[in-house]
Structure 1
């Protein structure tokens, strides 16, 4: 009888250990989360390398006692903010299975690549040309407001304020130049459905494409409110 009871207790103990082990396997642990986060950042690194950029990163730590509901499909990882705007973006980790959960994981990410800098001192109002630009390796996501990396989007832009040589070009430094300037002769397009009539006019103020501007029709001397559609061209809806 004693042997039977002993065997029964042994079986119960083994069963409990087996169940405990199975439950432990089912739980989502910090190791599982960090492995998924590293895989996500490795893919991000590969994508950046294809653009000629170099990424280095360090993951933050999680409380080793964390045990979350199982996530059979695997955790979904994403940046909670634009990694190009900060060297310390946060990763959002979530599970969308039957027992959903979400947490945030800190990280330090450095994205190195060519930024565009001013080759010399530029004065306010200058139009950017190719010889005013130099490429220089920088930490792209350590530049406030985000650097401009495509020379073609920079050439032809107007400098908002004076900048020193070596300044990294960012979106707040340049602006689209005026498409029409006060006193310029412009083409006024009067449109009504498929019908349009062109006449000559004079701009009475400066304006960018898409902005409204007052123009004088040189034929009728009437003053009209028109929308700038391109350099030297405005449109009036009839």
Structure 2
């Protein structure tokens, strides 16, 4: 009986130790929160509010004891929305490296649909409203000025109170092939403008080739009404 009791106590202690290895100290959780919040604020628009929700490590992990754990941002990982913060042991019996799930919300006042809108509709002021939402919940740039959306056409349906995001809008055609366009060559600390003939349609945000009077052909990006920008 005593041997059985000792065995059960031993199992309980081992289980407690295994659980403790995946439980993070409050001070470390706070460091993770501050790191995620600072990274999100670095790219958040002015006037927004950032909120960070810390997840839990995978319960199947069995991490060796560590005297010093360093939180860090994994390369190439976006901080907004559902993301991950790296944790690495820098002073312990075994050097380990894991990631901790986090959810970063960025609340801001942006343009939303005042009601359900079908694809193909040309936006009017009456169809738009302002609301405070989590702009990090979905990908795509949002708008803070309803005037920027008047007359734009929806490429897909948008629900009531849903943010109007750039991917939901049809790309604008700034000019047609054969039209004369103003080409700006932009470099480090300078910009030069000249006229050229468009060799294709100028679709918003897309590259298009233009031909100068000299016959030289270059490729640039359509950025506005009969305007092309060439990066040097």
TM range (shorter): 0.5 to 0.7
Structure 2, gaps ≥5 residues long = 1-16, 185-191
State whether residues 77 and 91 of structure 1, in contact with CA within 8 Å, keep that contact through their aligned partners in structure 2. yes
Aligned to 1:92: 86
State whether residues 214 and 225 of structure 1, in contact with CA within 8 Å, keep that contact through their aligned partners in structure 2. yes
Q: Distance in 2 between matches of 1:182 and 1:40?
A: 52
Q: TM-score, normalised by structure 1?
A: 0.52
Task: Assess, with a 3 A threshold, how the Cα gap between structure 1 residues 105 and 204 changes in structure 2: closer, same or farther.
Answer: closer
**1:26-82 CA-partner distances (Å, limit 9, x unpaired):** xx944455641233215545775985325252532565994524344x422446843
Aligned to 1:177: 172
Structure 1 residues 135-214: aligned runs within 5 Å: 135-143=130-138, 146-151=139-144, 155=148, 159=153, 161-164=155-158, 166=160, 167-174=162-169, 177-182=172-177, 184-186=179-181, 203=198, 205-208=200-203, 211-213=207-209
Task: Assess, with a 3 A threshold, how the Cα gap between structure 1 residues 173 and 154 changes in structure 2: closer, same or farther.
Answer: farther
Q: Which has the higher helix share?
A: 1
Task: Assess, with a 3 A threshold, how the Cα gap between structure 1 residues 57 and 206 changes in structure 2: closer, same or farther.
Answer: same
**1:167-220 CA-partner distances (Å, limit 9, x unpaired):** 42233223653342245333579xxxxxx9966x65453124662336696xx9
Q: Which has the higher strand share?
A: 2
Q: Distance in 1 between matches of 2:48 and 2:141?
A: 15
- Aligned-residue Cα RMSD (Å) equals 5.0
Residue among 99, 102, 105 paired with 1:111: 105
Q: TM-score, normalised by structure 2?
A: 0.53
Query: Which one has a bigger Cα radius of gyration?
Result: 1
Q: Distance in 1 between matches of 2:218 and 2:126?
A: 36
Aligned to 2:11: none
Length, aligned pairs only: 193
State whether residues 184 and 203 of structure 1, in contact with CA within 8 Å, keep that contact through their aligned partners in structure 2. yes
Residue among 64, 67, 74 paired with 1:68: 64
Residue among 185, 208, 219 paired with 1:227: 219
Task: Assess, with a 3 A threshold, how the Cα gap between structure 1 residues 138 and 162 changes in structure 2: closer, same or farther.
Answer: same
Structure 1, gaps ≥5 residues long = 1-23, 190-195
State whether residues 119 and 156 of structure 2, in contact with CA within 8 Å, keep that contact through their aligned partners in structure 1. yes
Task: Assess, with a 3 A threshold, how the Cα gap between structure 1 residues 83 and 43 changes in structure 2: closer, same or farther.
Answer: closer
